[in-house]
Structure 1
Amino acid sequence: MLAAGIFFGLFFVVCLGLLVLLSRRQRPRRRGVRAPRPRVSILVAARNEQASIERCLRSLAQQKYPTGRLEIIIADDHSTDATAAVIEEFIRDKPQFRLLRVRERLGCTKDKSNALAHLCRAATTNYLLFTDADMALPPDWVATMLAALEPGVGVVTGITTAEGNLFGRLQGLDWLFGLNVIRVLAERGLPTSAIGNNMLLTRAAYESIGGLENMRFSVSEDLQIFQKVVARGWGFRHLCEPQALGISEAQPNFSALLKQRKRWLKSASGLPWYLTGLFGMYATFYTVLCWPGLFPLSIITGIYLAKTGFQTLFLAITLRQTGRREHVAVLLLYELYLCIMSVAVLAYTLWPTRLEWKERRYTLAEA
């Protein structure tokens, strides 16, 4: 009983602290209309994305940035569907776009990290913007990410959500919740991770770590890059504003979502202790709360409602900061979604099967 009391006391102290820090967020600086606009490279690794790649390319073609200062390179990573044909048709009359067919392996890389390594070699600018083929970016994305760069900053991360039906919107809340916790920590000088679907690297920062081809292979190459860049002394920025908000396609079903989250959870071993501790505390909340005979029903109900209240308020503030809106009923339903997912992902992760990602399988060591 005493240990459980300490656990929940610490849990709610952390929740209150995160809310205070979130409400006192650092405001984005004003961006001058005539800010410098250097040439930039937008890099997209695509594998079997024929259904979603055009949505991504359309959003990149609509960037409010001088076309002549953009090079957009899409790597076809051994697709077995019509991804390459869809890309070729879309970019036919758009000289800022280029299709790169990946066939050779560079250094220690393979699969997506190999495609990214090829993209970085093919890029001809000093600013590398990364996104995924299932993402759509706002028109001011390029300018907003560049404006966050300051002397000494090597990596900038935007924020991501998902949309669609109710299942997709709940996944979107999951993205916003986790990434805004990371952003709050980053604003207090605590490095955690970058998200490769919405990331900017300077060429100098990327070359300082030797490039992907000289890094041990991992399916979490974004986390790996971020940690090595920070270890080299580069600064980092995390943005939470509408102009840096990417919209990812939601996982289509529960099975696909479990595979995605298993990969994320297995990769969490590389995260710093303070973020692992925060997410670990959140994941074990239900186990401690519902331990047989530990608390009477009235106390269980009170703790559960308090947690739901903190969580809903955190999400409401996050949505406001990113220019999004959501029904209160969906915010409350997120608690049920989170409870189910916490148990299901933990069980699925412990199940002795390989990781599956983009129709490829990996050992746990490669996570």
Structure 2
Amino acid sequence: MLTIIFYLFIAIVAIQFFYYIIVFGKFAYIKSTKSNPKRIPISVIVCAKNEAENVAKFIPLLAEQDYPNFEIVLIDDASSDDTLDLFESFEKQYPNIKLVKVKNNEAFWGNKKFALTLGIKAAKNEYLLFTDADCYPISKDWIKEMSSQFTLEKTIVLGYGAYEKIAGSLLNKIIRFETMLTAVQYFSWAKIGSPYMGVGRNLAYKREEFFNVNGFIDHMKIRSGDDDLFINQAASRKNTTICFAPESFTYSLPKKSFKEWFVQKRRHISTASFYKPFDRIQLTVFYISQLLFIVLSIILLAFLHQWIIVLSLIGFRYLFTWITLGFSSGKLKEKDVMYWFPIIEIVLIIIQLNIMITTIFSKPVHWK
């Protein structure tokens, strides 16, 4: 039995090598290229529901972007706080702001996709750039950098939505490591030619891509997935590219309690179950290989006499993962999380297993 487990362990290390070196290496080892700024008209779209505190701080940062031709479409999704009042004041203050008011609709109550659809239709420009109400661009060149990736063929641009750093917080490091690893995955698969997701905190596409797949109609009843399910359906090798210039990043306020983050991750993981079969399979294989690597390492070190061989394989696995994620974290300005990599990885694997089990018995429903 131990011999079978040992050979299974070798296979797991080989699978991990394939993911980290062959797949994730497509992003980790890519060279940064100088952007080619364009002056295409852009509509920045922000959907908010009860986000008064955040929009008061972040909408002015969007309005101050250094870009010659853009509008900001603010969508109030039937907020019950002061969000709408703030949006109305911003509309008066900035001439390039357009306000879309969404009232409660019995058929689409609490559905962000319905609100976004109204905003997309109201936008005057063909090229759309999305972020969330609790996000802000890291620089005044955010629009310039994201829009620079558009070409006649490349009409979907996947960006990086990071989270703010909180000193001394292990939860914050876990959140940022998981966010970085997710970005490495979707950036890498996009480079290979098989894009499968993006994040609504930083995402751009041409409006025709939205109408080519009839918008969110195929997954309108699924409360989440206005970003990743749309990209899973609309993105392809021909029409999708990535943007990872540091000036293109957006930052969000991270969850400060484990419970809040757990709920957020449950929503994300439950949405992934609606991806295309290949994407579900590759994500499942990657996670299972991570889990089995930890479990089999413990078993073999405890019971196998040739522990030196096992220890060498463990060291080899951590070497190539650390190198790949090290290069990736440098590109995404997340190097500090790598100091805690082995610990965070193990904690995250256990948390994800817990989330998957919990999600089987209860499903998250509303986006707010």
Q: Identify if the C-alpha distance between structure 1 residues 356 and 225 changes in structure 2 by more than 3 Å, giving closer, same or farther.
A: closer
8 A Cα contact 2:180 2:332, kept in partner: no
How do residues 166-185 of structure 1 correspond to structure 2 at under 5 angstroms?
Answer: 166=169, 167-185=171-189
Aligned-pair CA distance for 1:283: 2.7
Q: Deviations over 1:100-144 (max 9, x none)?
A: 210165997961001101101111111111111111113211111
Which deviates further from its counterpart, 95-104 or 304-313?
Answer: 304-313
8 A Cα contact 2:297 2:310, kept in partner: no
8 A Cα contact 1:108 1:214, kept in partner: no
Aligned-pair CA distance for 1:195: 1.8
1:347 aligns with 2:361: no
Instruction: Give the aligned CA root-mean-square deviation in angstroms.
Output: 3.0
Instruction: With the length of structure 2 as denominator, give the TM-score of the two structures.
Output: 0.84
Match of 1:209?
A: 213
Unmatched 5+ residue regions in structure 1? 360-367
Match of 1:358?
A: 367
For 2:140 and 2:295, the matched residues in 1 are separated by: 46
1:190 aligns with 2:194: yes
1:17 aligns with 2:18: no
1:254 aligns with 2:258: yes
For 1:202 and 1:324, the matched residues in 2 are separated by: 30
Q: How many residues align?
A: 352
Match of 2:228?
A: 223
For 1:270 and 1:26, the matched residues in 2 are separated by: 33
1:242 aligns with 2:246: yes
In structure 2, give the amino acid aligned to 1:223.
D
Aligned-pair CA distance for 1:91: 4.6
Instruction: With the length of structure 1 as denominator, give the TM-score of the two structures.
Output: 0.84
1:51 aligns with 2:53: yes
8 A Cα contact 2:229 2:275, kept in partner: no
> Counterpart of 2:351 in 1: which secondary structure?
helix
How do residues 114-129 of structure 1 correspond to structure 2 at under 5 angstroms?
Answer: 114-129=114-129
How do residues 101-112 of structure 1 correspond to structure 2 at under 5 angstroms?
Answer: 101-103=101-103, 105=105, 111-112=111-112
Q: Identify if the C-alpha distance between structure 1 residues 150 and 107 changes in structure 2 by more than 3 Å, giving closer, same or farther.
A: farther
In structure 2, give the amino acid aligned to 1:142.
I
Q: Deviations over 1:174-231 (max 9, x none)?
A: 1111112211121121221222221111122223223345764332122332233337
Match of 1:338?
A: 348
Q: Which of 37, 40, 43 is the matching residue for 1:38?
A: 40
For 2:114 and 2:40, the matched residues in 1 are separated by: 27
Higher relative contact order (CA 8 A, sep 6+): 2
In structure 1, give the amino acid aligned to 2:72.
I
For 2:323 and 2:80, the matched residues in 1 are separated by: 44
8 A Cα contact 2:159 2:202, kept in partner: yes
Aligned-pair CA distance for 1:150: 1.2
8 A Cα contact 1:126 1:204, kept in partner: yes
Which deviates further from its counterpart, 239-248 or 161-170?
Answer: 161-170
Q: Identify if the C-alpha distance between structure 1 residues 318 and 59 changes in structure 2 by more than 3 Å, giving closer, same or farther.
A: farther
- Percent identity (aligned): 18
Aligned-pair CA distance for 1:276: 3.3
Q: Identify if the C-alpha distance between structure 1 residues 311 and 135 changes in structure 2 by more than 3 Å, giving closer, same or farther.
A: farther
Match of 1:100?
A: 100
1:3 aligns with 2:8: yes
8 A Cα contact 2:158 2:199, kept in partner: yes
> Counterpart of 1:11 in 2: which secondary structure?
helix
For 1:16 and 1:234, the matched residues in 2 are separated by: 24
8 A Cα contact 2:35 2:145, kept in partner: no
For 1:253 and 1:119, the matched residues in 2 are separated by: 32
8 A Cα contact 2:229 2:271, kept in partner: no
8 A Cα contact 2:184 2:328, kept in partner: yes
8 A Cα contact 1:260 1:357, kept in partner: no
8 A Cα contact 1:161 1:171, kept in partner: no
Which deviates further from its counterpart, 85-94 or 128-137?
Answer: 85-94
